[in-house]
Structure 1
């Protein structure tokens, strides 16, 4: 039996954030991880996926070099080097893993390798070893959801986890992406830009990002993908896959009728489910809801068992690494006897790293109107922005949703570096700033962020360039 102030079950973003934050507050911490610290985000999700998206961006830029005054040798056409892209991705992941492992060691966090589970007496059992903490934090993560009857073989039918860890020597020539949410849209963007014949099949009425961002913003991404060659089918019901010597046949139905599509690979990207089975929850008195999520008090992240907390993908909150970080801080602050500031889940920052990028915080226009607000909306396109023109990336817009004579309710944008432009709007939403508060601030010229300032100014009834 080993005693600690805190035992953390799971070494993904929520887990290692809790361990590092608690250790920095002087607590003794043990963290249990059955694979590698860093979790899905570092090894199979956020980091490797964005590395592949950047590879696609570089390929797209090189392919368009002539328009920027850069000549390629006569007769030379750029082509994707999939093994090299994956090798660079793996190098980034390995470097970050080493850095995280070193940081945990410097903070004196005891990392225990193995499968951990709660016990009835409140301890955590790891392969016969028992760890007891004054508090325990569960962060057991998530795995890709599957479609009944659609067997994942890791070669012709894959999940996003497998796509980011591909050891294939070349890209598939034809891909069907099932699911147009964040994961599906990002992979469709990668494959399309690298020259793969890409078909996106989404069951909901809007084919790209059907849930989440404002429709005006999501539609810009949809149009951009189509313009670059992605075939998008909304309201698509996929049938049982048929395997053939030449590939995989994907039958699907839309309002136009039944169709069949033959591809080399099918990527199933219909979301993720929590990993809460076999963690000893029932024996420990930790309540799991009907969807498999750990039930928590979101003000403290405490479960139905006092002293046991849960954060990250195993709870029914936005499945984002930075949300897991924030929840870890809430849980540890409560362990320390402080008054934590709960996460405001309606205002967290969201980013989709497609081309063009999509980002948002707060309410969509439709959500604000449904909530009963008297809404004022202004938009500013990147088409006339000098910096966007210099970059050659003019697809996109900034959209601000505000209460009439009141604060900013939602901030939505699509375009170049939306991921980095988001945070000014995120602060405005969370601080309940008036559009005029932001509009009075100076935005550097030429910059992409000018589009934010120009949008805020228009709420005054006046404008500069718009």
Structure 2
């Protein structure tokens, strides 16, 4: 047990120290609440230690490697880059450790009490904290937030060994780059891994059961990513059913329905994550868990038990760290008696950090049509963007979906979907416009700096007024 005071009653107990959990602790403590966090591993959770942060750090390594490899195009002559994977992984860990130490210090400065152990909810709304050493203590609180997070889903017949069969947890512990890799699952995480490994020199095959990679992403953006992957030698196989594997002396052979077996050195299972609700001991507490393991909540993240909330990957909302932040703030506002507005999950920001990057907010074209809208769309390529030409990255598209008014003009902005250079850093203005339900006429007059990548968004908006400059 660490930092535990003699007093074991708190205004709020948070079970889980990942993004949703620590956000609740930091936001609530800033408002003067006395808060305890129960964490079985390290504060920061999957996102910091085995997810968002290490993944993006390795993707940045891939970006640097790719940039150096094309330096001669800028007149910068250098030998072909080589990768010191030991240094790569050491830098990854340094970034993680720096953020972990910063977060730990921030929690301490906010006087948040951190209990190291597994927290289980009791029927009387108290929390039993059990340490790996077999010690236990009971803490009580006026309110409890369940934020236990999630773990990678696995596939029968693919026993994770950390050497040949990996999940996202084990990828970040590799000591060498595998030569041939199969990524099972073509969602956001799978495409990030595939892009990173390919750029660093691995031969990569994506095996996706659905008809397209990046399900839920606008088809025009998906097509950009798929063309890029194909051009870089990534073998993308959609509609592919994985039957099993036959381990060999150094790698494994993956059996596929209707296709030749695939020999690889490593397999990354990237088929999503499951909520870690089974760690919370919820049976008999009154908290309802659905068949998939998600804790059931209402639009304010309230469980069936008064005074108990659930947030983050534990509930069936988008599994994004920033969504966990928003849910945490939503709950704390309720505890403080302030106005609490439910999260609009249909308009959250999505960012995928593969090459090319993907970012979007709001409805895709097909989703808008399915929702009953008549739409007007525009697509703006990066080839005419001066900043994109300057940095040598013109691959991608900015696509805008707007509601079509009865007179045929473009009205409310419904969605913005982008693929291309640094679009994850450009999404802000599009996210605000979508969430403020702005119309095309309202945002078209906004001036974009020149030269800048953001001009492509401005040009695309302007073109929906019926007039444009460069498109």
Question: Shorter chain as normaliser: what TM range?
Answer: over 0.9
1:10-409 equivalent positions in 2, closer than 5 A: 10-72=16-78, 76-127=79-130, 128-166=136-174, 168=175, 170-206=176-212, 208-209=213-214, 211-253=215-257, 257-298=258-299, 300-405=300-405, 406-409=411-414
Measured against aligned partners, the alpha-carbon deviations of 1:230-289 in whole angstroms (never above 9, x if no partner) come to 011010001110111242101213xxx321111100000000000000312122211101
Could you tell me the TM-score, scaled by structure 2's length? 0.95
Measured against aligned partners, the alpha-carbon deviations of 1:270-326 in whole angstroms (never above 9, x if no partner) come to 00000000312122211101110000012x211000000000000000000000000
For structure 1, the 5+ residue unaligned runs are: none
Counterpart CA distance in 2 for 1:246 and 1:116 is: 40
**Could you tell me how far 1:327 is from its partner in structure 2?**
0.1
Q: Indicate the SS of the match to 2:141.
A: strand
Q: Indicate the SS of the match to 1:258.
A: coil
Counterpart CA distance in 1 for 2:111 and 2:223 is: 48
Counterpart CA distance in 1 for 2:279 and 2:430 is: 41
**Could you tell me how far 1:150 is from its partner in structure 2?**
1.5
**Could you tell me how far 1:447 is from its partner in structure 2?**
0.4
Counterpart CA distance in 2 for 1:374 and 1:265 is: 46
**Could you tell me how far 1:162 is from its partner in structure 2?**
0.8
Counterpart CA distance in 2 for 1:308 and 1:336 is: 15
For structure 2, the 5+ residue unaligned runs are: 1-6, 131-135, 406-410
Measured against aligned partners, the alpha-carbon deviations of 1:106-142 in whole angstroms (never above 9, x if no partner) come to 1000001111100111100102211111000000000
Counterpart CA distance in 2 for 1:225 and 1:82 is: 23
The counterpart of 1:462, out of the listed 452, 462, 467, is 467
Q: Indicate the SS of the match to 1:240.
A: strand
**Could you tell me how far 1:370 is from its partner in structure 2?**
1.0
**Could you tell me how far 1:77 is from its partner in structure 2?**
2.0
Task: Please say if residues 35 and 113 of structure 2, whose CA atoms lie closer than 8 Å, have aligned partners that are also in contact.
Answer: yes
Counterpart CA distance in 1 for 2:267 and 2:62 is: 19
Note the aligned Cα RMSD (angstroms): 0.9
Residue-pair matches, total: 455
Counterpart CA distance in 2 for 1:152 and 1:278 is: 20
Task: Please say if residues 147 and 313 of structure 2, whose CA atoms lie closer than 8 Å, have aligned partners that are also in contact.
Answer: yes
Task: Please say if residues 118 and 279 of structure 2, whose CA atoms lie closer than 8 Å, have aligned partners that are also in contact.
Answer: no
